[in-house]
Amino acid sequence: MINTAAIANLLRPGLRTVFGEGPTYPPQWKEIFTTYESTMAYEQDQEMKFLGLAQIRAEGAPVAFDTMGQRYEFKYWHKDIGLGYQITQNTIDDNQYESQFPRQARALKSSLEQTKEVIGADVLNNAWDPEFLQGDNVTLFSTQHPIDGGVVANTAAIPADLNEASLEQAIITIQQFRDQSGLIRMTKPRKMIVPPQLQFVAEKLLKSAYSPDTGNNAVNPIFTMGVLPDGYRVNQFLTNPDAWFVLTDCQDGLKHFQRKAYESDMYNDFATGNLMVKAIERYSFGCTDFRAIYGSGNLPV
């Protein structure tokens, strides 16, 4: 509760300024996730297995038959997000700087916006954590995503720092993703997501015409081939300074479902006269198809 003791200096005139508020980053989760509207308690995506490779047959022999059917399901459970505050009537009456307090409403909105950034980034921050398994019962980044008759990797078997060789290998891996039937998908890298600590490495890798950090007169194929057409983005809410990510053009991948948009309300409590203010929102973040992203980097112990 905000009472007169909490804002004692605001109860008298003479302050030059009231500060503490500052600019925030534009929404960074939008660089990673595609937004969809939801009208249900949760959303569910279903992976299907279609036909595999055709088989060579002997003359006069019957053709081989294959099956199709559902495999793994991916659910998005919407989270209820909320925050509020209350101000005593005396605090409102005695505040000498009340005209400056649209800031209260902005602060509440900023809190929910930054919470959304944290929850969205946690899809990547927790992507190696065995406590956060996907619909196929492995972590988002794994070398063991199950398909019929094998596995697919969307991370390096040995975690690698971001450099020319590791990024080239990531691009090759992405181009060789297989579907549930074992067929190679035409998957292309699109954009890199990095924490602040790797932004300078990403700039060199994506914008140097020659191999960065070497004296060799060799072209930088990552630049000359334009393999990452959307460049890179820095996400301030990634918690591992060594982890880096490549988004692909895979369709049903990283998703944000908006169940209830940001909404605020206020009222005066009859018994106390206190002003009660709250804001709520409801949404979910997740990833349906692991082929939408590749991740690597040295992980914390």
What is the reported pLDDT for 234?
98
What is the reported pLDDT for 218?
82
How far is Cα 135 from Cα 159, in angstroms, rounded to an integer?
Answer: 23
What is the reported pLDDT for 16?
46
How far is Cα 80 from Cα 296, in angstroms, rounded to an integer?
Answer: 31
Whether the Cβ atoms of residue 193 and residue 244 lie closer than 8 Å to each other: yes
Domain extents for the chain? 28-51+76-296
Whether the Cβ atoms of residue 212 and residue 204 lie closer than 8 Å to each other: yes
DSSP state of 6: G
10-residue mean pLDDT series, the chain (301 residues) = 56 52 85 96 89 87 86 92 85 62 72 95 96 94 94 94 95 96 94 97 92 76 93 97 96 95 86 85 96 86 51
What is the reported pLDDT for 80?
96
pTM of the model: 0.87
What is the reported pLDDT for 19?
53
Alpha carbon distances (Å) from 39 to 35, 36, 119, 286: 13, 10, 20, 17
The class of domain 28-51+76-296 in CATH terms is: alpha beta
Structure tokens at 289: 């198809």
What is the reported pLDDT for 47?
86
3-state class of 120 per DSSP?
Answer: helix
3-state class of 154 per DSSP?
Answer: coil
What is the reported pLDDT for 97?
47
Q: How many CB atoms lie within 10 A of CB 256?
A: 21
Helical (H) or strand (E) element with 264: strand 254-268
